Chains A and B, each alone.
Chain A
């Protein structure tokens, strides 16, 4: 049973690392969906943040500066999304798509213009964000499981709990959910639905920014073209799989992370074609979509069409 050997601590660590960007996007997407915004543009926000983060780190030589600029890029893209779809009446999906296309081309353009590179950019002077090692865990059995991750990974666990509390236990959470479920009733109850939407979109921009810098400054210290590789969309699926709740989204992200991690490990064991391994997260997403479909089919009875 050699395949059982892959279930060890390094698989767990790789699972957590793969799940982190998906969960970050997923939390943002869940909040947006809860307030009734379909935020397709998260992919572009993430990509922009990844690039701006690495560029800022390269020019300043400081990981923190890179992080701050990266997150700002995510937020700025979110503001662009908000202005176009809330203030100027553009369709959310179209704006999201246009932002994604804009971001792919924009980062590639800047890559060629600023760094004269095509494809990817990596440089020794880029400062990555270092992992955190907990002193008190050294030489305990928890060291390998809990210590030595980069900050965003701890943030994800923290967010899962905080968002759960906000979502269910505060007025704000109720207001956000009301905005998505029944905007008219929410308005009648004195909730400023537009403000709620703005709030969730900006929040998702922050998280997409953190997710982007996670890719380019924490997980690795390099930028490759289109390095978000659909994680923005997978995050959307994760939030949808998790019923747009924080804990559900987190669970779905771990599931995606597990699939990713197993795929990577199996490649080492069986020497599989790398393309098939790369396909695992997407194939898994399709499977999850089918599962969501079955679940909705069971739960929701179609509304009968009235006779003429």
Chain B
């Protein structure tokens, strides 16, 4: 992918304005006062310690799933199954959280996280192998595995891992397995820092190491977004990097699920709903498939989400409006020809050149 350019920022900005316009109309038609909803929205997103902490807490899984998307897309694999990895990782993190007694805090948390990462990444093994060795579209196999994962964890929470006779849920995880919550008024926990570290680590590995170069070169020959065998011609095994990338991506998804359990929910229950895997894909695209871009976009996205939750809680407006608006925004951002048509304007070309020089 090319670097962020002024065009992209402009289209993001224009898209946002149009999306806000659509929101305005939608709210007015359904009988709300847009200005007041907007004010509430802003308050819920970033005003006050509690709301800010909640926004950051919501951002944690988004950061991880968007980076999982970045990694898989960069190796030329369209991993849509991150949500499935999240469920699997979350389930087994909960299992490890109550199963292993008499461990210290740090070993226990590390063990839970390791199990979440490993199970999440193993979940992606089959699609990766199918793609590389038999040419089966990983898009479809990972999507289908999402459905399998949801039903599987729901079965496990109901059957083998069930503790509570009334509610289908696992036992609560032990205190030693909990990720620390620092504030009494928010579930904000140390998982956020793990996510941020992972974001910078991914940036470093992808950009500065040989391993990262090998990974990227599997996908840099993308025609549009589709993997080609370009890197094979350079002597880099693109098959191997495709599988590795897919496993890393699944592992990050598992980590996202694990942190949700260890930091927020503290036990796995049947109704637990993860959607961050899907949103992570859209976030990664807004972030131009860059780890740091994904981090920033995740924070932006979770602010909107949290604002939406606040509005949903305070008024009759459905929280889904946020997702609707964001997918409309994605329509704008992904429309490449719309972006490149901006080059028609002289000032866009000039500013583009200006910013490109700055980055170099």
A1 within 8 A of B: no
Say yes or no: B80 contacts A293, CB within 8 Å: no
Asked if B144 and A285 make an inter-chain contact with CB atoms under 8 angstroms apart, the answer reads yes
Chain B residues with Cβ under 8 A from A283's Cβ? 148
Cβ contact within 8 Å between A279 and B335: no
Q: How far is the CA of A34 from the CA of B294 in the complex (A)?
A: 35
Give CA–CA (A95, B336) in the complex, Å. Answer: 12
Across-interface contacts of B225 in A (CB, < 8 A): 91, 93-94
**Cα–Cα, bound, A223→B282 (Å):** 27
Q: Are A230 and B327 in contact (CB-based, < 8 A)? A: no
Residues of chain A with a CB closer than 8 A to B278's CB: 97, 101
> Which of B78, B148, B336 touches A90 (beta carbons < 8 Å)?
B336
Given contacts A89-B335, A282-B144, A289-B136, contact A94 B318 (CB under 8 A): no
Q: How far is the CB of B322 from chain A (nearest CB, A)?
A: 8
B259 → chain A closest CB, angstroms: 23
- Contact of B133 with A293 in the complex, beta carbons under 8 Å: yes
- B159 in contact (CB, < 8 A): yes
Decide if B285 is an interface residue (CB 8 Å cutoff): yes
Least CB distance from A108 to B in Å reads 5
Q: Is A247 an interface residue (CB 8 A)?
A: no
Cα A108 to Cα B330 in complex, Å, equals 19
Q: Which of A135-143, A176-184, A233-241 contacts B (4 or more CB under 8 A)?
A: A233-241
Q: When chains A and B are docked, how far (Å) is the Cα of A296 from the Cα of B140?
A: 16
What chain B residues lie within 8 Å of A88 (beta carbons)?
Answer: 335-338
Residue-wise, chain B 130-149 has the 8 Å CB interface mask toward A (1 for contact) of 10011111011101110110
Q: Shortest distance in angstroms between A43's beta carbon and chain B's nearest beta carbon?
A: 9
Number of A positions contacting B (CB below 8 A): 52
Interface residues on B, range: 35 or more
Let me know if A89 and B139 touch, CB within 8 A: no
- Judge whether A305 and B141 touch: CB under 8 Å: no
Quick check: is A159 within 8 A (CB to CB) of the other chain? no
Please pick, from A109, A273, A294, the residue contacting B318 in the complex, using a CB distance under 8 A.
Answer: A109
> Which residues of the partner chain A approach B330 to less than 8 Å between Cβ atoms?
94, 98
Across the interface, A273 reaches (CB within 8 A) one of B137, B147, B159, namely: B159
Q: Is A279 a contact partner of B324 (Cβ separation < 8 A)?
A: no
What's the minimum C-beta distance from A229 to chain B, rounded to whole angstroms? 7
Closest chain-A Cβ to B230's Cβ sits at a distance in Å of 11
In B54-106, the 8 Å CB interface with A consists of 78, 80
A273 touches B224 (CB 8 A): no
Task: Enumerate chain B residues within 8 angstroms of A186, measured Cβ to Cβ.
Answer: none
A101 contact set on B, CB distance < 8 A = 278-279, 282, 323, 327
A114 — nearest CB in chain B belongs to which residue? B30
* A289 x B140 contact (CB < 8 A): yes
Question: Could you tell me if B229 and A305 are in contact, using CB atoms closer than 8 angstroms?
Answer: yes
Q: Does chain A have a CB within 8 A of B154?
A: yes
Complex: chain B residue closest to A284, CB-CB: B144
Q: B residues within 8 A CB of A80? A: 331
List which A30-72 residues lie within 8 A (CB) of chain B: 38, 40
Q: Do A89 and B159 form a contact, CB below 8 Å, given A286-B144, A286-B148? A: no
Question: Given that A109-B318, A292-B136 are contacting pairs, would A95 and B151 also be in contact in the complex, using a CB cutoff of 8 Å?
Answer: no
Q: Is the CB of A275 within 8 A of B327?
A: no
Could you say which residues of chain B place their CB within 8 Å of the CB of A87? 337
Kindly state whether residue B356 has any CB partner on chain A within 8 Å. Answer: no
CB-CB under 8 A from A276, the residues of chain B are 151, 155
How near does chain A come to B4, taking the closest CB pair, in angstroms? 18
Contact check, B321 vs A240: say whether CB atoms are below 8 A apart. no
B147-188 contacts to A, CB under 8 A, are: 147-148, 151-152, 154-155, 158-159
B151 and A275 form a contact (CB under 8 A): yes
Closest 5 CB pairs of A and B: A293-B134, A89-B337, A105-B323, A88-B335, A102-B327
13 further interface pairs, Cβ-Cβ under 8 Å (given A286-B145, A294-B134): A88-B337, A90-B331, A95-B331, A97-B278, A102-B323, A104-B323, A112-B318, A230-B143, A273-B155, A275-B155, A282-B148, A292-B134, A308-B235
Q: Could you write out 7 A-B pairs with CB less than 8 Å apart?
A: A38-B139, A40-B139, A90-B331, A113-B30, A279-B148, A285-B144, A286-B145
| Residue ranges of A at the interface with B (Cβ–Cβ < 8 Å) | 38, 40, 80, 84, 87-91, 93-95, 97-99, 101-102, 104-106, 108-109, 112-113, 229-230, 233-234, 236-237, 240, 273, 275-276, 278-279, 282-283, 285-286, 289-290, 292-294, 296-297, 300, 303, 305-306, 308
